Structure 1
């Protein structure tokens, strides 16, 4: 009898805590959690990016003859929002008003823009990769491998690639 009562008490406590958490979440400011970065955040990001690029430059041991290709490469892979580009994501009210086909069209447009950006970056990588020595190419490959592991690790894709599968 006491065991059942204890289990009920524990269960009710857990439900109460969960309910409080949900009400606190529901009382949030209503934002979708992704606001535009502040100027301070943009400056901090630019500073981090410059440090990473400097380290990458040093790790690759870019020669003076390769410097122009390096600068061209950095210019081509730099994330840029094209002037007059449509907003990446509609606000909640606009999204709620859209029909399912309209939402799918919006997603397809986004994916097409993403594919175009990826194709441009791939071409830039191939162009720069051709300028590197075999030793530099190995360093470059390792950098991209680590970058992918870092990126996917932070988004919940903790499983390995094909080489890690049985």
Structure 2
């Protein structure tokens, strides 16, 4: 009897976590309250900052004229673009009308597209990395690690776990 009660409690807890995840995804899909699509000025600022970071990496890597074509190819492959055929994000009203299975299907499609983008990005990095000298590879690794810490450091990734200990 105790085991059955324990299993039911675990099942209810798991369903609660799943419901919280769907709710969080629903909120994320339309962004926080008052959030809107980026303005042209914001998009221009993002592009300028990206170009600045790319120029710094180019300078730090000391790209040679022989490597310049590989560098340009690399930049073209990692450029953020909206994937072909990707459905637009549902607005709050559309999201509210969807059933839980429909929402999960939407999330699954998003994750599949994200996985495909990551695979393309990984292939581009590997291709470019192979052109670099060992010294340049070390510099690239340092830039990549800084980017990952900046992007995920607040969540405990790449710092030895949630506590931030190595």
TM-score normalised to structure 1 length = 0.74
**Residue ranges of structure 1 left out of the alignment (5+ in a row):** 1-29
Q: Separation in 2 of the partners of 1:129 and 1:139?
A: 11
CA distance in 1, matches of 2:120, 2:33: 30
Q: Is structure 2 residue 115 aligned with structure 1 residue 108?
A: no
Kindly tell me: are residues 33 and 76 of structure 1, through their superposed partners in 2, closer, same or farther at Cα, counting changes over 3 Å? Answer: farther
Question: In structure 2, do the counterparts of structure 1 residues 113 and 33 end up closer, same or farther at CA, with 3 Å as the change threshold?
Answer: farther
Q: Distance in 2 between matches of 1:148 and 1:123?
A: 18
Structure 1 runs of 4+ aligned residues shifted over 4 Å read none
Task: Give how far 1:36 is off.
Answer: 1.1
Please list every run of 5 or more consecutive structure 2 residues that lacks an aligned counterpart in the other structure.
Answer: 1-30
Match of 1:140 in 2: 140
Structure whose alpha-carbon radius of gyration is higher: 1
- Deviations 1:59-109 (Å, cap 9, x if unpaired)? 00000000000000000001001344211x211111111111111000000
Partner in structure 1 of residue 131 of structure 2: 131
TM-score, normalising length: structure 2: 0.74
Q: Which of 1 and 2 has higher RCO (CA within 8 Å, sep 6+)?
A: 1
